[in-house]
Amino acid sequence: MRQENKIYTAFIVSPFIPAILIYIFISLVAPTPGAYEQWWLQTFLFVSVFVGYLIVLIIMVPTYLIFQKLKIFSILSYIGAGSLGGALGLYVATNGTPSIQGYLGPMIWGALSATIFWFIVRPDKAHITRHSS
């Protein structure tokens, strides 16, 4: 797969997978859901994916471009940026009202999304391949 296609695929897939995983986890852990709980879970999934894509477009695309320009290819850098993106997204969405513990979930979510992105794109290997040919 060409590197450009990997980048597009990663930007499409990376916010979606964490939302699906959390949806499945909540569905398995929660007792048998009634109609309200099913509606809540589906709404949660929709909002999570929507907010995830907004964060990707507004925060993570510019971050990725800056990382490429500065030649930052480390997975830890991507995980850190994803965590900050998740925290910043929650801060903006709630006008800064959650407690410190409230940021943990979005930060983990952002880190997971960034890790998925990194493993699809593999900027460390793409950088070597681009300069060796």
Query: How far is it, in rounded angstroms, from Cα 66 to Cα 61?
Result: 9
Which tokens sit at 54?
Answer: 């907004």
- The continuous run of DSSP H or E covering 98 comes out as none
Predicted confidence pLDDT, tens digits, the chain (133 residues): 788 888 889 988 988 888 888 888 877 887 666 766 777 778 888 888 888 888 888 888 899 999 999 999 999 999 999 999 988 888 887 877 777 778 888 899 899 999 999 999 888 887 655 554 4
Cα→Cα distances 73→3, 9, 26, 50, Å: 14, 18, 33, 27
Residue type at 30?
A: A
Q: 122 by DSSP, 3-state: which?
A: coil
Q: 111 by DSSP, 3-state: which?
A: helix
